[in-house]
């Protein structure tokens, strides 16, 4: 599957790369949906590294499509989680046991990668040392700057905050700590004048 | 508020001090302690900082950077430890031979190019020889703040192990000393293995040791951000050369045993500097014209900048060739 | 001169006013009749007597009211003051710097008595007399950064320096020009400046970063920045943009002189000694157009600057829609005469308005 190429943007907007095998003392891979394809590419490059990997995979809408493929590459541990939230305790437990030299590989949607990156950073790994590769949906995780609520999987600009109901426009300004882009009221200076929502990157 | 940006003054702010103690530690290393001449307290400093000591050596001004090794929380003194370098350019010899208790000297405010990463869950110090000095201050700081640390200290022999006994007896479980003459060596791979996430490694010592630590850590999957080093380069002698300085409108000669920065200062050019060791970037100078070869020795410019021939760090780098014109 | 503190508000009825003295010492930011980004740094070591540059931390007639406004903002939204865990030492550095500076620069208003780590701090304008142990957080009612910046005008960003980069890792931000500490905390220098147009392409931030990384202990620096605000509102935060944004549409030819304010930030930069972090105080000064044009040179110059500013900057600074109204008003105070160089009012030498 071809990868989506994000247009060039401002300096706070994350830039994703292509996962590559790196030497280390352990390998933690976290992916959702089509992110599995990036892990499979990695397995093709370095089967041995993959045999040592602990994988946490959230299939989302892809069902069983990728689970068997991942399993067939024989990772040390493959954990399939029904949602990112359900996998958080496990991610934290794995990180709390880990030592320097752990390599972290993240693949899939921006929301998944951002949140998992945050867990790894909180555990003491600098974000520059965490590999990421975007695959699948371009939906965004948005924070409403006014009420601070997070709206997941935003596909249009503007959109309605799922917490306070304000109409927000989608900025490219991104916070690693919140793992979210910033949403700001679109009609603040002209209440009620809300532009027609447009699908992101269309 | 004026319109034009002001030029930064050369070097850090200065402090007038008096030498309050000269303590020989062994054949090579002597500790110098300073008190302020105005009787005031020294400014606090962050562990890892250095000061530049100004020496008036028979009409010649020498400026050498030394790590502050006293307890950062003790504002009554600053202390440095100087290793005598008989082959060097003379600064350390001057300190050892000429500086006596009661002498008036000038030092700069602390400048830190080797700070602790305060996010660190644990700090692992690797010292080679006189490279122990910044860690003396870091250890004092972490002891006060309750931070986790361990020290691995390689020195030539028991007789030359500055502070080794003092550190070992005070922190027997955290300090590990290795003597070359007893064929002891830091087992780097073992000690990198199994450190908790968020550990930072700091190395101060000879160039080879620094490179060894960076390379080994990298192959063990350590992020670059978690490996810190400090190495002061002393300017190396070289063939004399001539430089034209555009802004100052003068032609100066750089002697065999002086750096380009020192030659500019000798001729009265107010050139910026901080570390004088190729690390801080403050003296970076644009090259207007060059017909010849640069001898770049700094850690500041990247390889592309070195190759471009457009910039030079006059504190440590030199030039061999027909003509060099600088924007200074 | 003993300072008289105003009783005034920066919200609701907006009773904020500048006295005649405050107008004359206003930090007018334009040294010539046009404006473009520049790093424009200079050393922060005093300035002319009575000017806002004279002391390390300027205390003026708005002090007590500004601190009351800060308390209101924090009560509504405590996330305006945050400090990542590794920044506590930098918080103590900040507390020490401000207490020492204020007690030395304003001995009639502030006192600091130190006996080792036992400190007693007296803030007369705010009625505070508090003893605590330096470096012991349990002896303060809140973290050291919050404690001292509830008593100091202006916003404070505290920047950690790691590997040739600065990170916005702590701050007290309640009088900001539309940026959110809660969102930006943890970002690097280029990331938190990401939304600023043009300057990245001009290399401004690269140069500024290089300068800031080299700011050393004992040698602080400063610069001015500016924007526009309708009504004397200190808290122009993104958090509350949905409440104040609409105020920008209330300008009329009749009220613009009183309502439209030039907002100037005196930004200073200090290397903090114990943590090696960089303290970045951002002090906000507001002046109504009608007060500003009472200085003939400033009236002439502001008109020319606003008129000639590139659209991108007028958009970024949030006044592109109101620019025609501003020009209509300011044009009345520009008689076309030349202006003297520099930012000072030059009341004795600059001619009055020739109209």
Q: Which CATH number covers residue A110?
A: 3.40.50.80
Q: Quick one: pLDDT at residue A165?
A: 97
Strand order in the sheet with B199-204: B175-179, B149-155, B122-128, B199-204, B227-230
Q: Quick one: pLDDT at residue A1?
A: 54
Q: At what angle do helices C323-331 and C296-308 cross, to 10 degrees?
A: 150
- Is there a single domain that holds both residue B189 and residue B264? no
Q: Quick one: pLDDT at residue C197?
A: 80
Could you tell me the pLDDT band of residue B299, with boundaries at 50, 70 and 90?
Answer: confident
Q: Considering B73, B108, B143, which residue would you say is the last residue of a domain?
A: B108
Domain count, chain A: 2
Of the partner residues B195, B219, B224, the one whose CB lies closest to the CB of residue A100: B195
Q: Is position B212 within any domain?
A: yes
Sole residue written with tokens 């426009």: A169
Q: Quick one: pLDDT at residue B6?
A: 40
- For B270-295, write each residue's pLDDT tens digit: 888 888 888 778 889 999 999 999 99
What pTM, to 2 d.p., does this model score? Answer: 0.92
Q: Tokens at residue C293, please?
A: 């044009």
- Is there a single domain that holds both residue A156 and residue A107? no
Q: Is pLDDT of B83 > 60?
A: yes
Q: Is position A6 within any domain?
A: no
First to last CA, chain C: 36
Phi, psi of C271 (to 5 degrees): -75, 125
Q: Tokens at residue C175, please?
A: 């009088």
Q: Is position B2 within any domain?
A: no
Residue ranges of C 149-168 with Cβ closer than 8 A to chain A: none
Sole residue written with tokens 């014209």: B289
- For B84-112, write each residue's pLDDT tens digit: 998 888 899 999 999 999 999 999 999 99
- Is there a single domain that holds both residue B208 and residue B286? no
Distance CA B4, CA C31 (A): 9
Q: Considering A86, A118, A134, which residue would you say is the last residue of a domain?
A: A134
- For B207-222, write each residue's pLDDT tens digit: 999 999 999 999 999 9
List the single residue in B with minimal CA-CA distance to A120. Answer: B197
- B65 CB neighbours in chain C (<8 A) are none
Q: Is position B71 within any domain?
A: yes
- Is there a single domain that holds both residue B95 and residue B156? no
With an 8 Å Cβ cutoff, are B9 and C27 in contact? no
For an interface test with C, give the residue of A143, A166, A173 to mutate (most C CBs within 10 A): A173
Nearest C-alpha neighbor of C253 from the set C179, C329, C319: C329
- Is there a single domain that holds both residue A124 and residue A145? no
Could you tell me the pLDDT band of residue A2, with boundaries at 50, 70 and 90?
Answer: low
Domain count, chain B: 3
User: How many other CB atoms sit within 10 Å of the CB of residue C258?
Assistant: 14
What ipTM was assigned to the predicted interfaces of this complex?
A: 0.94
Sole residue written with tokens 């000017």: C51
Q: Is position A9 within any domain?
A: no
Q: Is position A179 within any domain?
A: yes
- Is there a single domain that holds both residue B83 and residue B104? yes
Q: Quick one: pLDDT at residue B9?
A: 56
Q: Is position B5 within any domain?
A: no
- Is there a single domain that holds both residue A109 and residue A156? no
- Is there a single domain that holds both residue A57 and residue A119? yes
With an 8 Å Cβ cutoff, are A98 and B198 in contact? no
- B202 CB neighbours in chain A (<8 A) are none
Nearest C-alpha neighbor of B222 from the set B244, B249, B247, B202: B202
For an interface test with A, give the residue of B194, B218, B219, B223 to mutate (most A CBs within 10 A): B223
Q: Is pLDDT of C69 > 90?
A: yes
- Is there a single domain that holds both residue B199 and residue B126? yes
- Is there a single domain that holds both residue A100 and residue A119? yes
Q: Is pLDDT of B265 > 70?
A: yes
Q: Quick one: pLDDT at residue B248?
A: 92
- For B37-78, write each residue's pLDDT tens digit: 999 999 999 999 999 999 999 888 888 999 999 999 999 999
A190 touches chain C (CB under 8 A): yes
With an 8 Å Cβ cutoff, are A146 and C241 in contact? yes
Q: Quick one: pLDDT at residue A200?
A: 94
- Is there a single domain that holds both residue A35 and residue A117? yes
- Is there a single domain that holds both residue A32 and residue A120? yes
Q: Is pLDDT of B5 > 70?
A: no
Q: Considering A134, A156, A187, which residue would you say is the last residue of a domain?
A: A134
- Is there a single domain that holds both residue B92 and residue B129? no
Could you tell me the pLDDT band of residue B8, with boundaries at 50, 70 and 90?
Answer: very low
Q: Is position A114 within any domain?
A: yes
- For A60-88, write each residue's pLDDT tens digit: 999 889 999 999 999 999 999 999 999 99
- Is there a single domain that holds both residue A118 and residue A161? no
Q: Quick one: pLDDT at residue B10?
A: 67
Q: Quick one: pLDDT at residue B59?
A: 83
For B146: left if phi > 0, alpha if psi spans -120 to 50, otherwise beta; the answer is left
Sole residue written with tokens 């307290």: B41
User: How many residues are present in chain B?
Assistant: 328
Distance CA C39, CA B4 (A): 10
Distance CA B287, CA C337 (A): 43
Query: Which chains touch B (3+ CB pairs under 8 A)?
Result: A, C
Per the annotation, the verdict on C223 as an active-site residue is: yes
- pLDDT-above-70 percentage for chain C: 100
Sole residue written with tokens 């950690």: C160
Quick one: how far is CA C206 from the chain centroid? 22
Interface of C with B (CB under 8 A): 27, 29, 31-32, 38-43, 47, 53, 85-87, 89, 160-163, 210, 213-214, 216-219, 222, 224, 273-276, 341-343
Q: Is position B47 within any domain?
A: yes
* Mean pLDDT, all residues of chain B: 92
Q: Is position B116 within any domain?
A: no
- Is there a single domain that holds both residue A179 and residue A102? no
- Is there a single domain that holds both residue B207 and residue B144? yes
Q: Which residues of C80-96 are buried (b: 16+ CB within 10 A; e: fewer)?
A: bbbbbebbbbbbbbbbb
- Is there a single domain that holds both residue A115 and residue A144? no
Residue ranges of C 211-250 with Cβ closer than 8 A to chain A: 238-242, 245-246, 248-249
Phi, psi of B181 (to 5 degrees): -75, -10
B198: domain CATH number is 3.40.50.80
Nearest C-alpha neighbor of A113 from the set A45, A47, A51, A39: A39
- C241 CB neighbours in chain A (<8 A) are 145-146, 184-185, 188
Instruction: Please name every residue paired with C167 in a beta bridge, in sequence order, or none if there are none.
Output: C160, C188
Q: Tell me the count of A-C CB pairs closer than 8 A.
A: 63
- Is there a single domain that holds both residue B217 and residue B297? no
- Is there a single domain that holds both residue A148 and residue A130? no
Q: Considering B230, B258, B282, which residue would you say is the last residue of a domain?
A: B230
- Is there a single domain that holds both residue B310 and residue B245? yes
Quick one: how far is CA A179 from the chain centroid? 8
Phi, psi of B261 (to 5 degrees): -60, -45
Q: Quick one: pLDDT at residue B2?
A: 40
- For A98-136, write each residue's pLDDT tens digit: 999 999 999 999 999 999 999 999 999 999 999 999 999
pLDDT mean over C267-271? 97
Q: Is the peptide bond before A158 cis (omega within 30 degrees of 0)?
A: yes
Task: Please give the residue range of the domain that contains residue A186.
Answer: 140-199
Q: Considering B201, B230, B259, which residue would you say is the last residue of a domain?
A: B230
Q: Considering A89, A114, A134, which residue would you say is the last residue of a domain?
A: A134
Q: Quick one: pLDDT at residue A13?
A: 95
DSSP-derived 3-state class of residue B292: strand
Q: Tokens at residue C85, please?
A: 């865990």
Instruction: Please name every residue paired with B35 in a beta bridge, in sequence order, or none if there are none.
Output: B18
B52: domain CATH number is 2.40.30.10
- Is there a single domain that holds both residue A45 and residue A127? yes
Of B3 and B308, more confident:
B308
Q: Tokens at residue B251, please?
A: 């032609």
- For C330-344, write each residue's pLDDT tens digit: 999 999 999 999 999
**Which of the following is catalytic: C25, C80, C150, C223?**
C223
Task: Please give the residue range of the domain that contains residue B299.
Answer: 241-326
Q: Quick one: pLDDT at residue B301?
A: 87
């Amino acid at each position: 599957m071809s990868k989506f190429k994000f247009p060039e943007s401002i300096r706070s907007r994350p830039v994703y790369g292509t996962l590559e095998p790196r030497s280390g003392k352990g390998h933690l891979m976290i992916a959702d949906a089509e992110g599995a394809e990036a892990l499979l590419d990695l397995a093709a490059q370095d089967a041995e590294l993959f045999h040592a990997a602990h994988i946490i995979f959230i299939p989302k809408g892809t069902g069983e499509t990728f689970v068997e493929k991942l399993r067939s590459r024989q990772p040390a541990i493959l954990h399939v989680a029904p949602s990112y939230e359900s996998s958080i305790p496990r991610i934290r437990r794995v990180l709390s046991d880990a030592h320097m030299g752990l390599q972290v590989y993240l693949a899939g949607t921006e929301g998944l990668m951002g949140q998992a990156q945050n867990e790894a950073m909180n555990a003491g790994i600098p974000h520059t040392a965490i590999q990421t590769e975007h695959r699948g949906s371009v939906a965004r995780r948005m924070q409403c700057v006014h009420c601070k609520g997070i709206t997941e999987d935003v596909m249009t600009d503007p959109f309605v905050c799922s917490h306070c109901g304000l109409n927000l426009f989608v900025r490219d300004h991104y916070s690693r700590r919140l793992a979210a882009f910033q949403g700001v009221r679109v009609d603040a200076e002209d209440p009620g004048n809300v532009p027609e929502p447009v699908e992101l990157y269309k | 508020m004026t319109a034009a940006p002001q030029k930064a003054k050369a070097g850090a702010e200065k402090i007038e001090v008096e030498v309050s103690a000269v303590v020989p530690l062994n054949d090579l290393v002597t500790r110098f302690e300073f008190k302020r001449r105005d009787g005031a307290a020294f400014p606090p400093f962050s562990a890892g900082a250095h000061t530049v000591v100004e020496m008036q050596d028979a009409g010649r001004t020498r400026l050498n950077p030394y790590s502050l090794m006293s307890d950062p929380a003790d504002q009554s003194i600053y202390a440095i430890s100087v290793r005598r370098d008989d082959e060097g350019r003379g600064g350390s010899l001057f300190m050892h031979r000429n500086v006596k208790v009661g002498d008036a000297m000038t030092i700069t405010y602390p400048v830190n190019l080797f700070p602790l990463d305060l996010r660190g869950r644990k700090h692992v110090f690797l010292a080679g020889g006189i490279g122990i000095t910044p860690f003396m201050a870091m250890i004092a700081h972490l002891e006060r703040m309750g931070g986790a640390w361990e020290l691995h200290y390689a020195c030539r022999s028991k007789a030359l192990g500055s502070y080794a006994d003092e550190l070992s007896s005070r922190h027997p479980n955290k300090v590990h000393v290795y003597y070359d003459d007893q064929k002891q060596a830091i087992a780097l791979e073992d000690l990198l293995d199994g450190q908790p996430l968020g550990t930072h490694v700091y190395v101060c010592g000879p160039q080879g040791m620094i490179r060894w630590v960076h390379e080994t850590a990298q192959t063990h999957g350590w992020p670059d951000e978690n490996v810190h080093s400090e190495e002061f380069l002393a300017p190396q002698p070289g063939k004399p050369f001539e430089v034209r300085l555009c802004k100052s409108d003068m032609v100066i000669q750089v002697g065999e045993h002086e750096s380009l920065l020192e030659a500019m200062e000798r001729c009265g050019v107010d050139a910026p500097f901080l570390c004088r060791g190729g690390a801080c970037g403050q003296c970076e100078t644009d090259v207007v014209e060059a017909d010849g070869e640069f001898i770049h020795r700094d850690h500041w410019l990247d390889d592309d900048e070195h190759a471009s021939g457009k910039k030079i760090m006059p504190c440590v780098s030199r030039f061999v060739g027909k003509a060099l014109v600088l924007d200074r | 001169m003993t300072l008289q503190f105003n009783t005034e508000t920066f919200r609701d009825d907006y009773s904020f006013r500048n006295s005649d003295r405050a107008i004359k010492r206003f930090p007018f930011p334009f040294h010539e009749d046009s404006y473009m980004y520049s790093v424009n740094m200079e050393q922060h070591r005093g300035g002319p007597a009575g000017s806002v540059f004279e002391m390390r931390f300027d205390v003026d007639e708005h002090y007590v009211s500004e601190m009351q406004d800060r308390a209101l903002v924090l009560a509504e939204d405590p996330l305006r003051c945050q400090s990542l865990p590794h920044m506590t030492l930098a918080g103590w550095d900040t507390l020490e710097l401000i207490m020492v500076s204020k007690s030395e620069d304003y001995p009639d208003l502030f006192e600091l008595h130190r006996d080792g780590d036992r400190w007693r701090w007296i803030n007369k304008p705010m009625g505070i007399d508090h003893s605590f142990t330096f470096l012991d957080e349990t002896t303060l009612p809140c973290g050291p950064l919050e404690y001292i910046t509830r008593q100091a005008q202006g916003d404070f960003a505290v920047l950690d320096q790691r590997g040739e980069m600065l990170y916005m890792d702590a701050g007290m931000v309640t009088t900001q020009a539309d940026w959110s500490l809660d969102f930006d905390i943890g970002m690097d220098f280029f990331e938190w400046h990401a939304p600023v147009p043009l300057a990245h392409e001009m290399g401004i931030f690269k140069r500024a970063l290089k300068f800031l990384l080299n700011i050393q202990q004992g040698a602080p620096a400063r610069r001015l920045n500016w924007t526009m605000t309708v009504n004397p509102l200190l808290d122009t935060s993104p958090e509350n943009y949905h409440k104040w944004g609409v105020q920008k549409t209330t300008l009329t030819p009749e009220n613009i002189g009183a309502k439209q304010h030039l907002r100037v930030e005196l930004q200073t930069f200090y290397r903090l000694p114990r943590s090696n972090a960089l303290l970045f105080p951002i002090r906000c000064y507001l002046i109504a157009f009608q007060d500003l044009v009472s200085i003939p040179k400033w009236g002439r110059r502001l008109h020319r600057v606003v008129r000639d500013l590139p659209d991108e900057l007028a958009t970024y600074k949030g006044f592109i829609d109101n620019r025609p109204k501003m020009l209509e008003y300011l044009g009345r105070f520009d008689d076309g005469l030349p202006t003297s160089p520099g930012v000072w009012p030059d009341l004795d030498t600059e001619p009055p308005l020739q109209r």
